[in-house]
Structure 1
Amino acid sequence: MSMAFDQIVFDPRDVDLARSPLAGKIDAETYVLGAFNPGMTRLPNGNLLLMVRVAEALRQPIVDQHIHAIRWYDGGYTLDPWPLEHVDTADPRKFLMRGGGWKVMALTSLSWLLPVELSADGTKVVAVHYDRAVAPRAPYQCYGVEDARITKVGERYLMTTCSVSPERHATTLYTSADALDWQLEGIVLDHQNKDMLIFEGQIGGKYFAQTRPLGDLYFAYPPGSEWRAGPSINLASSPDALHWKPYDKPGIRPHAATLATARMGGGAPPVLTERGWLSLWHGVEPSGVVGIYRTYWSILDRDDPSLVVATSDTPVLEAAPALTEPMKELMYIDNVVFTTGIADAGDHYVVASGEADLACRITYVDKAVFS
């Protein structure tokens, strides 16, 4: 598929850490592990806004036989030391506590959200709004604010994020009239419900969202079923975007026949087309530690989004190593593209993705692909 535009538009080298919310607040050197997974929307002035996840990491997480985690606390930031003999440090981004009856981990980075304004066509950066950055400000965000997804419904912008703390890995909601000044509304989905995407428009007078509850136990489909058990994209509805009721019918489920989508989750907020709601989502093929992430599409019925009108097992987007080649010394994973935003641009869509958990990729995708 030929793409008129497919480039990295923002990467870790573009972040000025002197203007970070953490600047001057911790006694340790940090660096940008990734500037990625950007929520995207069109601003009132016509430009596009990326809400970039900046993962700010400790340059030397291990000091004096202790590994350190960054934590927001009471309006400031602190470093928590953990003795090395008590943890598994195989992954540089996180560490696991040894022992105990379940998995407990901490992070060597903390994520905050940076508003990056692009030209109307999405091809170049016109402003970086450090003064509007979204950083932790509540105990349920003490380990960071991650992976924004932005939807405009009527005249209101709605932004979901993952907020990370010891108590929960929850979905929080922010609202705005202009997509630059964000009001924190609080937790809207509880434990480990990631990739919450609010539909860009209401159905039957209600807000709808795709959700993705995670667990460590799934029940089997019967032998010979067309579906594969595991994480899937669920649905929920709400009268006010704050109080969500899970939908009684399943949403998009992984097919048993395709290993490439053995795991799946939401990508860009669903947008309405002539055929129904266009949903871009990610499928993960088991491979190595992380897996191979690709972007796929489905069209959902405009009145009942549990009905899949059309879908494709041919990926819309795959990882593009050539795009990250200029920053290969910063790479720590590969084979990952994670789509997080979509905007209408006439005969094509502007699609925003995180590339390799490292940088922000903008791709033009012809609307004919989804017909």
Structure 2
Amino acid sequence: MTEDIDTRELFHRYEGNPILAASDFPEMMNAAFNPGAVMFEGETLLLVRLEQRSGLSQLAVATSADGRTGWTIDPDRVLIPETGSFAEYWGIEDPRITKVGDEYLILYTGYSAGGTVICLAVTRDFRTFDRRGVIMSPEDKDAALFPTTFGGRWALIHRPAPATAELGSHIWLSWSPDMKHWGDAKVLVPARRGGWWDANRVGLGPPPMLTDQGWLVCYHGVRTTVSGSIYRLGLALLDRDHPDQVLLRGNEWVFGPSTPYERSGDVPDVVFPCGWILREDGDTIDMYYGAADSTVCLASASLADLLEHLQRHPCTESTDLRHRRRASSMVPPQVD
């Protein structure tokens, strides 16, 4: 651990960013962004969201031996919206991949005619996909599964939308015996209020990563200002055996838009990761993220540094929703 952890960036951008753009894919696309990530057959595999010029999205596979350069794109390895599907009527978006045994479980957002839904597809080869359909009804998104069961039940992190924006959008955790019937839901990470960097809404980034201290969660937080919204990233730590228990939540954001490719694009001021990979050294994390809803980029961090940062900068303010409700009348309007 270095002594200057409080005075330097935790994530380091790859100097060759962006690593993928719409022009790298064979069909004419508007944007390539928000990839899921996993190791597959010794290579880094990204499942990239491709937005067509129509505005609808599909998912495509890109692979690389070093996870940085030399990306191979197979036009036959795609997951496209299912013809005639109400759930995928306006496209599919933002995949998150969890490996369970020999299978890869992909949760993605279906943009239905009735709102966003969470869909599940399962694959072994990223060529054929067994669609399991909708597992969470609208409005819901930003979902990932844990790679193991807890007391015989699967756990799902997701972000349902509130009835009104003023209530804030929070990260929830739900349980299921079969990955189909979900319930016993509770708020896991609530959005904060006032001037906080994650004051309006929060949502899961990559799937949770198991560490010796618990499940590390990276989430995006959104703060709305008079010039627009800013998407930044924060950290939380969940109990290893009881993932509905938050052990730590960071006080500060740890990664935010600052470069031209993050601050300018289809949606400015956005960094949005859907996948990360812990490398063989057991410490290096490569995080793959969408920049400004336009390109795919890479940033790397030390797992030890992230955990140390959480320990040194925990949130000390109550984020209990009952406290929020009592205090809501005392929160001044946001003007910045």
Distance 2:76 2:188 in 1: 38
Correspondence list, 1:1-371, <5 A: 1=9, 3=11, 5-6=13-14, 7-17=17-27, 31-43=28-40, 45-58=41-54, 109-119=55-65, 121-137=66-82, 138-140=84-86, 141-217=88-164, 229-247=167-185, 249-256=186-193, 258-262=195-199, 263-288=201-226, 290-323=228-261, 331-345=265-279, 346-367=282-303, 368-371=305-308
Q: Is this contact kept in 1: 2:122–2:131, CA < 8 A?
A: yes
Q: Is this contact kept in 1: 2:197–2:253, CA < 8 A?
A: no
SS in 2 for 1:172: strand
Distance 1:322 1:261 in 2: 22
Which amino acid letter does the alignment assign opposite residue 128 of structure 1?
Answer: I
Q: Is this contact kept in 1: 2:11–2:301, CA < 8 A?
A: yes
Distance 2:262 2:22 in 1: 11
CA distance 1:217–1:126, shift in 2 (3 Å): closer
Q: Shift of the alpha carbon at 1:163?
A: 1.2
Which amino acid letter does the alignment assign opposite residue 295 of structure 1?
Answer: L
CA distance 1:185–1:341, shift in 2 (3 Å): same
- The unaligned stretches of length 5 or more in structure 1 are 18-30, 59-108, 220-228
Distance 1:3 1:233 in 2: 23
CA distance 1:4–1:232, shift in 2 (3 Å): closer
Distance 1:161 1:231 in 2: 18
CA distance 1:246–1:213, shift in 2 (3 Å): farther
SS in 2 for 1:370: helix
Distance 2:284 2:233 in 1: 16
SS in 1 for 2:298: strand
Distance 1:157 1:369 in 2: 26
Q: Shift of the alpha carbon at 1:156?
A: 1.8
Which amino acid letter does the alignment assign opposite residue 8 of structure 1?
Answer: P
Distance 2:236 2:296 in 1: 23
Q: Shift of the alpha carbon at 1:289?
A: 6.8
Q: Is this contact kept in 2: 1:116–1:125, CA < 8 A?
A: no
Q: Is this contact kept in 2: 1:203–1:302, CA < 8 A?
A: no
Return the TM-score normalized by structure 2: 0.81
Which amino acid letter does the alignment assign opposite residue 177 of structure 1?
Answer: R
Q: Is this contact kept in 2: 1:279–1:299, CA < 8 A?
A: yes
Moved more, 200-209 or 157-166: 200-209
Q: Is this contact kept in 2: 1:118–1:125, CA < 8 A?
A: yes
Distance 1:165 1:310 in 2: 35
CA distance 1:253–1:9, shift in 2 (3 Å): same
CA distance 1:362–1:180, shift in 2 (3 Å): farther
Return the TM-score normalized by structure 1: 0.73
Residues 248-276 of structure 1, C-alpha deviations (whole Å, 9 max, x = no match): x3211123365210111111111111111
Distance 2:202 2:108 in 1: 18
CA distance 1:56–1:289, shift in 2 (3 Å): farther
Q: Shift of the alpha carbon at 1:193?
A: 0.5
Q: Shift of the alpha carbon at 1:317?
A: 1.7
Q: Is this contact kept in 2: 1:143–1:165, CA < 8 A?
A: yes
Q: Is this contact kept in 2: 1:153–1:202, CA < 8 A?
A: no
Identity of aligned residues (%): 28
Distance 1:288 1:341 in 2: 30
Greater C-alpha Rg:
1
Distance 1:288 1:13 in 2: 33
Moved more, 281-290 or 193-202: 281-290
RMSD: 2.1
Q: Is this contact kept in 2: 1:200–1:269, CA < 8 A?
A: no
SS in 2 for 1:369: helix
SS in 2 for 1:132: strand
- The unaligned stretches of length 5 or more in structure 2 are 1-8, 309-336
